[in-house]
Every structure is written in C-alpha cells, then in structure tokens.
C-alpha cells in the first residue's frame, strides 16, 4: 500500500507554497494518472476556519483551484449568508485529484466518489495543511471529509451541525498535538445542488445554519 508520504517536502514544517508545489508531483495513488491538476487548498496560514470538501470536481480539475465550479459558487453564497468572510476561511479537499468515470462516446467526465483507499493515501496532504494553517475550527463538508477527519465510522447524518471536540480519541488524528480543537460536520454543497427543487431551499438553509454554528465558535 502506498500513500502520499514520499511526495511531501522533506523539510520539517513545510509551508503552504511548498506543499502546493510538491502536490503536483504526487503519485501516492493512481488518481494522478487521469486528472489534469492536483488541486491544493487555498487560503492563508492562521485562517481561523478550514473548510474541507471531498475532491476537486471537473471545473476544479481543469483550473487547478478548489471550489470554483457550481458547488463552489453555492458554498460562497452559503458562507456569505452565514456571515463568514471568505478571507477567514482556508478551503481544501480530502482528496487532491479528481476521480471520475468517462462515458463511451462522450467527453463528459462523471464524478466518482473517492474510495477509503484514496482518502487514506491522500491524508498526508490534509494533515500537512492542518499543521500549517492551524485553524480554530474545521468544517467537514460531507461524508468523505468527515471520515477523513473523524474516522470511517463517523456518520454526518447523526452528528451534523454539532461542534465536536477534535481530534477525537480514536481515529486518524488521535493524539495529534494541535491548536485546532473543534470540528463541525455538515452536508456537502453538491448535496444541495442535487436536491430536488422542493427540498433544495431547505437543504441550503440547513447548510447555512450549520455554518453559522461554526462561525459562532470562531475567535
Ligand atoms: N466539490 C468538492 O468537494 N470540492 C471542490 O473543490 C469542488 C467540488
Ligand atoms: Fe497523491 Fe492524493 Fe493525488 Fe492520490 S489523490 S496522487 S494521494 S495527491
């Protein structure tokens, strides 16, 4: 089993520019093969809030930047409505390369959910981002991010919208020394986009309400 570790910078506490340069050379799992770019996080060291999504989408893969497509526009609206200044958020994904299926006779690329093995392989990048940014609060957007941060048995449906102690005693970050001590899990913005028209507004309002809870915990 391989992971991203050999591709991280060898300096002790790599900063964000070093990490985002190094991630382009990552071959920690097979997802680099078909993607256009690795998509690293954006934001500043010391940002009080870190938002973690699943993986880049089609638009993000082409642009090399996180959350710039339809899900990103929805996220921007939700942040604004929750009163969170975009400048205070560092935005990234649990997996840095786009996983997709191609369809025969079409150039369309269909999103495929990353597997547990991809999340595990890519975890060293997220871990390094958390170490460099040291946010006060982490928000997991959807199940992939929540499981990357809390462990595979975590269920967003059962614990969404709650400020949880982080890192938990069990799970991938157990025992990590960090100034980050709170996590909130919520739905992924794409889940709002996928909701049918009758429930979409309610789903959006739920996302905004959860983000407000996270905002209230910021210094
Ligand atoms: N969905 C994600 O999880 N991340 C992105 O960057 C874009 C869409
Ligand atoms: Fe490396 Fe993550 Fe890309 Fe896999 S998805 S190649 S682990 S950066």
The per-residue pLDDT for 158 is 98
Residue 47 predicted with pLDDT over 90? yes
pLDDT digits (tens, 9 = 90+) for 136-166: 999 999 999 999 999 999 999 999 999 999 9
Give CA–CA dist 54/188, Å, rounded.
8
- Least Cα distance to 152 among 137, 168, 136, 176 occurs for 168
Question: Which residue from 36, 43, 69, 97 has its CB within 8 A of the most atoms of ligand 1, so it is best to mutate?
Answer: 69
The per-residue pLDDT for 103 is 84
pLDDT band at 1 (very low <50, low <70, confident <90, very high): confident
Whether the CB-CB separation of 143 and 24 falls below 8 Å is answered with: no
How far does the centroid of ligand 1 lie from the alpha carbon of residue 196, in Å? 20
Residue 65 predicted with pLDDT over 90? yes
How far does the centroid of ligand 2 lie from the alpha carbon of residue 196, in Å? 33
Distances (CA, A) of 109 to 34, 35, 58, 104: 11, 10, 7, 10
Question: Which residue from 53, 57, 95, 127 has its CB within 8 A of the most atoms of ligand 2, so it is best to mutate?
Answer: 95
H helical segments located in the chain: 16-22, 58-63, 70-81, 116-133, 143-150, 156-159, 189-194, 197-216
How far does the centroid of ligand 2 lie from the alpha carbon of residue 122, in Å? 5
Residue 108 predicted with pLDDT over 90? no
Angle ∠(130,18,118) on CA atoms, nearest 5? 55
Whether the CB-CB separation of 14 and 22 falls below 8 Å is answered with: yes
Give CA–CA dist 28/55, Å, rounded.
15
pLDDT band at 106 (very low <50, low <70, confident <90, very high): confident
Question: What count of other Cβ atoms lies within 10 Å of the Cβ of residue 131?
Answer: 15
Residues with CB under 6 A from ligand 1: 53-57, 60, 66-67, 69, 71-72, 93, 190
Angle ∠(116,118,124) on CA atoms, nearest 5? 110
The per-residue pLDDT for 105 is 83
The per-residue pLDDT for 56 is 98
The per-residue pLDDT for 27 is 98
The per-residue pLDDT for 215 is 98
Q: What integer best gives the mean pLDDT of the chain?
A: 97
Residues 75-85: what's their mean pLDDT? 98
Instruction: Using the structure block, give the residue that is written with the tokens 């993000």.
Output: 60
Give CA–CA dist 32/35, Å, rounded.
5
């Amino acid at each position: 089993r391989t992971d991203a570790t050999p591709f991280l910078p060898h300096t002790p506490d790599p900063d964000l520019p070093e990490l985002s340069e190094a991630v382009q050379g990552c071959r920690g799992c097979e997802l680099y093969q078909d993607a256009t770019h690795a998509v690293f996080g954006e934001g500043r060291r010391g940002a009080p809030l870190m938002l973690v999504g699943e993986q880049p989408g089609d638009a993000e893969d082409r642009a090399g930047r996180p959350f710039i497509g339809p899900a990103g526009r929805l996220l921007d609206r939700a942040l604004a409505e929750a009163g969170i200044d975009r400048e205070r958020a560092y935005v990234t994904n649990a997996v840095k390369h786009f996983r997709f299926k191609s369809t025969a006779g079409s150039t369309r690329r269909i999103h495929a959910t990353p597997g547990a093995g991809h999340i595990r392989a890519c975890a060293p990048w997220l871990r390094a981002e958390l170490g460099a940014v040291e946010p006060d609060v982490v928000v997991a957007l959807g199940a992939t991010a929540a499981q990357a941060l809390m462990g595979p048995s975590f269920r967003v449906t059962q614990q969404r919208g709650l400020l949880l102690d982080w890192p938990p005693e069990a799970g991938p970050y157990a025992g990590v020394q960090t100034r980050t001590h709170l996590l909130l899990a919520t739905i992924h913005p794409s889940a709002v986009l996928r909701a049918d028209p009758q429930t979409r507004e309610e789903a959006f309002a739920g996302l905004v309400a959860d983000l407000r809870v996270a905002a209230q915990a910021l210094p």
